[in-house]
Each structure stands twice: as C-alpha cells, then as structure tokens.
Amino acid sequence: MAARGQGGFTLIELTLVITMATMAAAWGATAWMRQADDAAAQATGRWLLTVRIAVDQMLIRQADVIAGISAPRPGAFAYSNIMNPSLSELGEAGHLPTGFPAAPSLPYTVSVHVLAPVGDCDKTGCRIEALTLARPTGQTAGQTTGQAADVTRLAAILTGLEGYGLSVHPFFPAKLRGALAEFDNSPIPLVPNLPVGTVAAFSVFDTTQHAQFVRHDDVRDTALRGGLKVRREISTPAGLRAGAHVQAAGRISAGEYLQVQGLGTEGQACEADGLVGRSSDGQLLMCHGGAWRGSGSGFGGAFALDGVMGCDFPVYRDIMVNPKTGSCSCPAGFTPFEVSRGELSDHPRHTFRSFVCIR
C-alpha cells in the first residue's frame, strides 16, 4: 500500500500571506484615518461657516457703531471691543445657535477681527470687512510641514466654507488668500505673522445704500435740502438752527434763553404782525399794525402843541417835541391823549395843549 503525502502550507507561503494581510490592514487603517481627518476638516469648515454667518449679522447690526456715525443704543448688547468680538459675545448677542460648540473639531485657535472701515462712512458709505481666523495649535509661523499644512486638509476646510474661506498655503506663506479676497500675512495690526495652515472666514458689509439715511443716535451733522415734518416735539440738548422759517402748530419753549437775531427799527414797516425782532440797541420789538413797536413799555413819550403855531414855536420848541420821535407826534402804534391845556401869561394869544402817547 502506497504512503500518503503530507498536506498544509509551507513556511514561505505563510510568510507571504501574513505580509499581505499586514499590508492590507495598514492600507485600511491609513484610509480610515484619512476619512476621519477629512470628516473633521469638513466639520471644521462648517463650524467656521456658522461663525462667519454670525459675524455677518453682527456687522449688519453694529455697522453704524463701527463706522462711527452713531453711538451704541441704550439697552443694546455691549461688546467689550467691537473690533474684536469673542465667540461668547456673539452667542450672548443672539448671533450663534444655543449650545454652539466653543471650538471646532480640529485643534485651531479661533478669533474674530473687524478691520478698519474703508471709504467715507459719513457721506458716501464705506466697506467693513472682518476675518474669523483659525490658527492651527502648535504650528509656528515658519513651519511649512505637519498636518495643519496638509493641502488636502486645507481643501476640505475651505470646501466647508462654501467659497468664503482663505488660507495661508504652504506654497504662498506670505499671503492669506482665497476666492473673494487676498491679504498680506498678517492682515491684522499688532498680530504676528500667521502660521502656514491658518484658515480664515471672510465677512463683508457695505454701508453705501444706507449712508444717506439718518439713524437713531446719529452723531453726524445732517443736512436736509427739503422740509422736515414731525408729529411730536423736537428735543435737543444743544442748539437748533434753521436757515429759513421754523413753524410749529403748538408752542415753542426754551429751557434757558431765547436769542433773537433779526434787526428792526421802531416805527419802520415790518412784514407781518406777530414777528419778533430787536433794535440795534437790544430792545425787543414786535410787529403790530404793519410797523415795529417796542415791547418794553406802553409809554411813547409826550409833546405839546401851540394853538397858533403848532410845533413851530421858536422859543419853546425844544421842550414841546417828543424825545422819542423828535417831533410833536407819537411813535407808530401809540395814540396821543390830551392831558392839559393853558395859556402863557406873556403870550395870551397862544393856547398850549399837552399830550402823552400810550398804546
């Protein structure tokens, strides 16, 4: 009876199988780690996108304060530094969802920086930009290698930012660049150069379409070419000036003094009854009966008339005329009332009548 041969694997075959299995496991682990890193990078991009949207909302709400054309409104949320708001402040102001994570999936240090407005914010409007910077933890400014500098990771994060992302690329370490903007590295004053692998979310708000409107708590000097109508009172702690008429259906009152600059001359014609002016010597005048009248007194002086010669009595003329008019008459708006009548002993033919002028 013939002997049977031995079965099984040779040592070479076993070694080959183990080597192939090890290589397959290594490839699989590498692929899994790459997928996990890609997922974390995409999640970081989406996290930064949410912060960017919050910064956009903050710029819209705080644009007037950032541009310096209005003061912060009482009761509004107050940032410790409007040019460098923190993530917690964005959340307290209602711009981030409740329970929003304080940090992204990947190890980045995140800060928000509002850049100085560009343009004439007071008159024609200006452009306000902001950057949400995510600097890789442990990456130095001169280091161009490492996971943070991996272009695949950068691509995944920028994809999550949907076109609003910028980065310091290992091939261009002197720039922070993206599809919408490009800055020198570093774009923030007093901030050192950003390390390779830094990612930024770009926010912008243009105030041009709103520059011509007057705001609450506006600190600008506003010029209107037309009329201004209000249903209630106009209140100001400072001066109120008008180049033309100011009309009010109710009273105009002043908590201090009312200074009248319009000049008039007592007795001269005026435009309309009810106007108030002043004389060159500071006396308050009122327009009544088509002529300016002094408002300080109801007495308009006195004068005398001779029954024969009227006001032209040579000897007594100086004491007969009214000092307020320079003649034997009353100022405009005053009426003469006779108060006495008599004859002079040395001139029996002359009868003198004395008058006072009152309103």
pLDDT (tens digit per residue) in 329-352: 988 778 899 888 887 666 667 788
Residue 127 pairs with which residues in a beta bridge?
A: 118, 206
Q: What's the pLDDT at 213?
A: 77
Name the pTM for this structure.
0.60
Question: Which tens digit of pLDDT belongs to each residue from 258-288?
Answer: 778 888 887 788 888 888 888 887 778 888 7
Ranges of H-type helices in 68-150 = 87-92
Q: Is 8 exposed, middle or buried (0-12, 13-18, 19+ CB in 10 A)?
A: exposed
Q: What's the pLDDT at 25?
A: 61
> How far, in Å, are 159, 181, 235, 287 from residue 209 at the CA level?
31, 22, 28, 47
Q: What's the pLDDT at 9?
A: 57
CA 355/CA 330 separation, integer angstroms: 9
Tokens of 52: 């960017």
pLDDT at 88 over 80: yes
pLDDT at 140 over 60: yes
Q: What's the pLDDT at 75?
A: 76
> How far, in Å, are 121, 126, 265, 289, 321 from residue 337 at the CA level?
68, 73, 24, 19, 15
Q: What's the pLDDT at 200?
A: 93
Question: Which tens digit of pLDDT belongs to each residue from 62-84?
Answer: 998 998 888 887 777 889 999 99
| 141 — pLDDT class (breaks 50, 70, 90) | low
